């Protein structure tokens, strides 16, 4: 009888050890799954995000590195992957990076004038008559593509990731919202910029996901504030162009609320910001 009791005790302890082990394995799995939702993007998610933003920027999932146009929005020429402009420092930065990678090129001649325009935030395009042809022709050089990718990440993607870390944001779809906003509105200190919209959202909740605000609730409010900015920007020269782009925020909200594609892992993704339906596969 005593032996049986001893055996039962041993068996019960072994079962307890097994249960603890299995619970530990499950917890490890859950932690692993949780890490998958953390930013920054995985490479596949980054490619997907860039295709989505390309639909927003140029109504095509194929990234338009050779695109260049004067949109008459107070920013001079808008060009390339991330809508780099001659009135800001980013188009200049692309040309400078390209010249660093490929010293002999047809765009380097514009650097002095682009520097003057960037320094004064001027939308003037006088003297840049040959820029569109030189820009478009440069797409044949892979180093020009590399330069655009590098500056886009430096100016827009990396800052978006940093904002998300500071805000306690973990979902890839939320990072997409911040990243896209950074590309369209910039990371400056102006009242129409990304930082201003983040501050407005934090002020509304008196906090952020980092302090316990529900992330989806926070990002939907952020998108609401962004929509208001697009429709009524402080910089009125951008109002017409921006008001026509509200569809990009509508599309982001659909990923959040209708498709619930929070990790950007469901494929295909349908994007229709301006009336054309785009199917994007991972």
- Residue of 59, 73, 146, 187 marked active site: 73
Q: Determine the Cα angle at 50 with ends 241 and 61, to 5°.
A: 75
Q: Determine the Cα angle at 274 with ends 157 and 122, to 5°.
A: 55
Q: Is 149 a catalytic residue?
A: no
Phi/psi for 279 (5° steps) reads -105, 120
- Residue of 26, 36, 50, 57 marked active site: 57
Q: Is 187 a catalytic residue?
A: no
Outline where the chain has alpha helix (H): 2-36, 43-58, 89-101, 111-120, 131-138, 142-152, 158-167, 172-185, 194-205, 215-231, 239-243, 247-257
- The total of other beta-carbon atoms located within 10 Å of residue 146's CB is 14
- The total of other beta-carbon atoms located within 10 Å of residue 122's CB is 15
Pairing of strands 77-79, 84-85: antiparallel
Pairing of strands 84-85, 278-280: unpaired
Q: Which residues are known catalytic residues? A: 57, 73
């Amino acid at each position: 009888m005593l032996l049986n009791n001893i055996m039962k005790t041993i068996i019960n302890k072994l079962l307890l050890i097994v249960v603890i082990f299995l619970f530990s394995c499950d917890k490890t799995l859950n932690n692993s799954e949780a890490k998958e939702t953390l930013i920054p993007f995985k490479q596949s998610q980054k490619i997907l995000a860039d295709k989505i933003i390309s639909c927003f920027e140029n109504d095509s999932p194929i990234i338009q590195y050779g695109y260049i146009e004067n949109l008459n929005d107070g920013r001079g020429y808008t060009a390339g992957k991330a809508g780099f402009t001659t009135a800001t420092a980013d188009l200049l930065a692309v040309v400078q990076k390209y010249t660093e990678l490929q010293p002999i090129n047809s765009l380097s001649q514009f650097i002095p004038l682009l520097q003057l325009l960037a320094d004064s935030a001027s939308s003037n395009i006088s003297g840049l008559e040959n820029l569109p042809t030189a820009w478009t022709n440069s797409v044949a050089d892979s180093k020009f593509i590399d330069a655009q990718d590098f500056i886009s990440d430096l100016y827009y993607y990396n800052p978006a990731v940093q904002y998300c870390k500071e805000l306690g944001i973990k979902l890839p779809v939320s990072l997409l919202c911040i990243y896209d906003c950074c590309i369209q509105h910039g990371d400056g200190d102006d009242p129409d910029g990304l930082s201003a919209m983040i501050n407005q959202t934090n002020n509304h909740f008196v906090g952020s996901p980092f302090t316990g605000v529900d992330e989806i609730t926070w990002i939907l409010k952020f998108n609401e504030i962004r929509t208001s900015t697009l429709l009524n920007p402080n910089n009125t020269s951008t109002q017409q162009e921006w008001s026509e782009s509200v569809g990009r925020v509508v599309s982001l909200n659909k990923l959040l609320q209708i498709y619930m594609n929070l990790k950007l892992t469901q494929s295909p993704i349908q994007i229709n910001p301006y009336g054309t339906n785009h199917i994007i596969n991972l």
